[in-house]
Amino acid sequence: MNAPVTIRIQQEDFDTAREIAALSRGRTDIGAVVTFSGICRGPEGGDEIASLTLEHYPGMAEAEIKRHADEALARWPLQGLTVIHRFGRVTPGQNIVLVVTASKHRQAAFEAAQFLMDYLKTSAPFWKQQEGAEGKGWVEAKTHDEDAAARWTK
Amino acid sequence: MKVKYFAWVRERIGKAEETIDPPASVRTVDDLIGWLTARGETYAYAFEKPKVIRAAIDQAHVKPDAVIAGAREIAFFPPMTGG
């Protein structure tokens, strides 16, 4: 079975429609495509943020996402998946992350997309610094993200 | 070996990476945090809550008791906040 995996860490924006098309073009074996887009929020805990700056660990970021992509392929019958994560400065309303999963039936695509996002949050080496009226500060990790990832542990 | 720092660990230490040569008595990631902490107040500030710090050896996550012998690159960083 041909299940193409695309992983990109990039500064520039991405086009969700183009990524879906790239994954499913010329194929008739895909019955379901699920996409998750993570977008920079403006209001955050009572503050209005001006921007997020994403720092990452080049090399390890790709390796961690690849590791979880391989696990997703082993756990669900996927026809392909795409993960794109941006770094650098993003402003409210702009894209941060994209996960696209394709499968014959919807359940595998839904579950794999959720699995990939839960692990991206807790184990891919990215850090957000937010800038707002109060100045700059590093975003703190949330325990509910750890809990979300833990539910996939076999 | 090369050591890399990210996010507020990098900011507190004041550098993104450096090459270090710890003595053989520094066996584990935890030992290395202790050794780095003793190097000066910027390090002590970065590692003031060692339980919060995450580490990677050769670009893979490791626990504090991981042995550092043979590592080419060790990284220290706060809990991740991507996605």
**What distance in Å separates residue B46's CA from the closest CA in chain A?**
14
Please give, one letter per residue, the 3-state secondary structure of chain A: CCCCEEEEEECCCCCHHHHHHHHHCCCCCCCEEEEEEEECCCEECCEEEEEEEEEECCCHHHHHHHHHHHHHHHHCCEEEEEEEEECEEECCCCEEEEEEEEECCHHHHHHHHHHHHHHHHHHCCEEEEEEECCEEEECCCCHHHHHHHHCCCC
Q: What is the CATH number of the domain that holds A115?
A: 3.90.1170.40
CB contact (8 A) between residue A59 and residue B4: no
Residue A110, domain extent: 5-150
Q: What interface predicted TM-score (ipTM) does this complex get?
A: 0.95
Percent of chain A with pLDDT over 70: 98
A21 touches chain B (CB under 8 A): no
Dist CA B67 CA B48 (whole Å): 21
CB contact (8 A) between residue A125 and residue B77: yes
Location of structure tokens 């979880």: A68
- What is chain B's mean pLDDT, rounded? 97
Domain count, chain A: 1
Say if residue A78's pLDDT is above 60: yes
Say if residue A12's pLDDT is above 60: yes
Tens of pLDDT, residues B19-65: 999 999 999 999 999 999 999 999 999 999 999 999 999 999 999 99
Tens of pLDDT, residues B17-30: 999 999 999 999 99
Predicted confidence band of residue A144 (pLDDT cuts 50, 70, 90): confident
CB contact (8 A) between residue B7 and residue A121: no
B56 touches chain A (CB under 8 A): yes
**What distance in Å separates residue A125's CA from the closest CA in chain B?**
6
Percent of chain A with pLDDT over 90: 84
The residue extents of the domains of chain B are 2-77
Is the Cα dihedral A138, A139, A143, A146 positive or negative? negative
Quick check: pTM over 0.80?
A: yes
Tens of pLDDT, residues A81-112: 999 999 999 999 999 999 999 999 999 999 99
Superfamily of domain B2-77: Beta-grasp domain (3.10.20.30)
